Chain A
Amino acid sequence: MNKINLNRRSFLKNSGKATGFVALTGGAVQLNAFNAWAAKKSSLDSNVAKTMLLVSKDLFPGNKFSDKLYMISVDSLDGKAATDESLKKSFVDGVAEIDKAAGGKYTKASYKKRVTILKKIQGKPFFNTLRWEMVSVFYNNKKVWDVAGYQGPAYDQGGYYLRGFQDADWPQPSKDASPKGWWE
């Protein structure tokens, strides 16, 4: 199913390149989910939000996740910032700090450079907030589950016992080791 992806990733790894989730044409990052931002009512200004989107992607770079999905995390943070001035300020300051570290704009820096910057701010509040939002909001989102192949709750469908809990393509263990189910 995802075999190709894995192979492509290991190829990218072996060839020592960045994972290529953003097209670094001419140094400018294409964040295609971003155009809508200016049009909607939001608490964070477009540069801050855009940088936060890229940080989120740099923290958890993906081949299968679209920019639109990453926006789940940024939108959620934007919503929190709307009612929390100090949080909003911490985003503005955090972006200013990484822009400074990039010697210009974080969004214009190379992937390698950006990762170095993130390593430096690892553990600081700005970093922690963005990482935690990815962990607790992004990966907790059904749309993200669908892409990653997590099916979530099964109680309403009667559990997984008739829905593939033994369908992985490995040899079936012996009957002693793994007896038949009660329904068989």
Chain B
Amino acid sequence: MAKKFDLNDNSVAVVIGSGAGGGTLSNELSQKGINVVCLEAGKRYTTDDFINDEWSAFLQTAWLDNRTTSGSWSIATNWPNLPSWIVKSVGGSTLHWAGASLRFQEHEFKVKTEYGDIAGANLLDWPISLKEMEPYYDKAEYKIGVTRTHGIPGLPGNNNFKVFYDGAKKLGYRDVHTGRMGINSIPRDGRNACLQLGFCFQGCKSGAKWSAGYSEIPKAEQTGNFELRTEAHVIQITHNKSGKIDGVVYVDKDGNQQKQKARIVAVAGNSIETPRLLLMSNSSMYPEGLSNSSGQVGKNYMRHLTGSVYALMDKPVNFHRGTTMAGIITDESINDPRRGFVGGYELETLALGLPFMAGFLIPGVSGWGEKVSNALENYDHLAGMWIVGEDMPQEKNSVSLNTDVKDQNGMPVPNVHFDDHENDIKMRKHAFGKGTDVYKAAGAVDVFETPPYPSTHNLGTCRMSAKPRDGVCDRNGKSHDIANLFISDGSQFTTGAAENPTLTIVSLAIRQAEYIAKEMSKGTI
């Protein structure tokens, strides 16, 4: 029942990107009878196409268009042209996501009030509260099938979790379990239960893991109100004389430019491409780019604190068996400034295969020598965890256009600038210490404190704000400047919280679809 819309049909809602934000929004809108054209830069893959091989899978689906970096973050040295790990494919990064699905805590929606003024941090309260978000979190959890919600059982813990749990309990941590995961612990929603394959980061071949690509998009197609165009890379959003959005220009798979007219446009290209597109769409009416009267487009880029702790244990672990992310300690996610920093962090188990471990145990050119080699040679003795902490939004951390370097379409590439905030550094140090303690308690003979990887959580570059001067969009993700332009991905985040972002992105998309449908029926957009 897949539909085709005419390029000149100006009644459609155009959604840019088919990932967590765009894929969900597309489905929700088309379920409500709204005609949607979703433009996705990547190709469409089925679960059969996924490759259980780390480097091949990465090269198959990761966003590899050139990007540049600057700033003092270790990424600029270790991965100068790969600031983030994002997927270019139908389903976006939910193809590779691990599935951790956590709600934000109440205080994390109002950090300016809770944390006060922090030098160098551009803190702001969200224009939404947890209370307002709760019904949408509920819907999102049901949609994704999050374990430990709606009566869905938790997943069984794997070897990596056993080690983690043992150390955590010996240290006295209380809230330690196999997490709330967007992975089927039982068959559900037409998808299989998890077979503990261990290639969640490469695309789940059994389809047990929720992904916008095969969970949302096919449902949208069944409505008959939806068209997906793949290999359609949007390079400009256009507007009419009155300043309202009237369409988009994209490069199709043959390299030809097409213009699709639109009633509204929702941007969900993930937090690097979304601000880049707004900046590239500048015009004489909007010389600084679309929706940028505040000057905040591309600013306040956040990526979560991150870091990993790997340990060489005294006995075989075989942590590659089973889910990539298999469990969590939430005790450290509170805000307790007595620890020397504001905000908190989650500790989540993480396992990589030997090929990625070789590249990621100590990333960059210093990753060699006896210590790293010994760990790799004893791969079956490794255990590992990942740190996800709230990082401080800083105005100088930003996505901007690098006009010196052009991409395959001749457009300026995004430059991603990032410096850690003092609070980030203190929190990471604390988390490294705790992670190390966990593994020592469980019998580690050697421990690695591994610096951040290319960002998988990219957030905040078109932040929501109550007042137009403080941010790019309002509490519904609607542009403060242009009534029929929406931000529909993690770029909306006012601040980052300690939790993995996707559940919140999906909840916001469900909420936004409701708002758009209501306003469309009223005729205000």
Q: Mark A residues whose CB is within 8 Å of B.
A: 1-3, 5-6, 9-10, 13, 19, 59-65, 115, 118, 122-123, 127-128, 131, 134-136, 138-140, 144-145, 147-155, 158-161, 163-173, 176-182
Contact = CB atoms under 8 A, between A and B. Distances in A.
B185 A2 contact: no
B206 interface: yes
Contact of A170 (B163, B366, B377, B380): B163
Contacts of A160: 158, 195-198, 321-322
B509 interface: no
A6 B154 contact: no
Given A149-B379, A168-B162, A177 B369 contact: no
A2 B165 contact: no
A144 B376 CA distance: 10
A122 B365 CA distance: 7
A177 B176 contact: yes
B376 A139 contact: yes
A178 B378 contact: no
Given A63-B377, A135-B358, 20 more contacts: A59-B373, A62-B373, A62-B374, A128-B365, A135-B367, A136-B359, A139-B376, A150-B379, A151-B318, A152-B353, A155-B195, A160-B321, A165-B198, A166-B158, A167-B159, A168-B316, A176-B177, A179-B185, A181-B156, A182-B186
A132 to B, nearest CB: 9
Interface of B: 52-55, 153-159, 161-163, 165-166, 176-178, 185-187, 193-199, 205-206, 312, 314-318, 320-322, 327, 353-355, 357-359, 365-370, 372-374, 376-381, 442, 445
A144 B354 contact: yes
B163 A159 contact: no
Given A3-B315, A165-B322, A178 B156 contact: yes
B196 A2 contact: no
Contacts of B55: 136, 140
A179 B153 contact: yes
Given A150-B354, A158-B195, A165-B322, A9 B374 contact: yes
B157 A170 contact: no
Contact of A168 (B206, B317, B327): B317
Contacts of A163: 321
A14 to B, nearest CB: 12
A159 B155 CA distance: 15
Nearest to B353: A150
Contacts of B186: 182
Given A3-B314, A6-B378, A159 B197 contact: yes
Given A136-B55, A150-B320, A153-B199, A177 B367 contact: no
Contacts of B367: 131, 135
B321 A60 contact: no
A155 to B, nearest CB: 5
Contacts of B379: 145, 148-150
Contacts of A64: 377
Contacts of B199: 153, 155
A78 B481 CA distance: 59
A154 B198 contact: yes
A134 B316 CA distance: 24
